[in-house]
């Protein structure tokens, strides 16, 4: 599932960092925390690696 916006992509990247142990879970909040809890590492990886060209800054 590709990211629909730059913000969504960044949130997925933050959640992925936490899944991999590179970032503390306590540092997450809002969308990244929700993504961390509900998505697998593979799903987060797919969303975070979406190409940015043509993406809006906000989901809408």
% the chain with pLDDT above 90: 67
Q: What is the DSSP string of 15-55?
A: HHHHHTTSS-GGG--SHHHHHHHHS-HHHHHHHHTS--TT-
Question: pLDDT for 13-42, tens place per residue?
Answer: 999 999 999 999 999 999 999 999 999 999
pTM: 0.80
């Amino acid at each position: 599932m590709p990211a629909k916006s730059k913000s969504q992509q960044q949130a997925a990247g933050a959640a992925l960092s936490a899944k991999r142990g590179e970032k503390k879970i306590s540092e997450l909040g809002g969308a990244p925390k929700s993504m961390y809890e509900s998505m697998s590492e593979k799903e987060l990886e797919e969303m975070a690696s979406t190409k940015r060209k043509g993406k809006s800054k906000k989901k809408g």
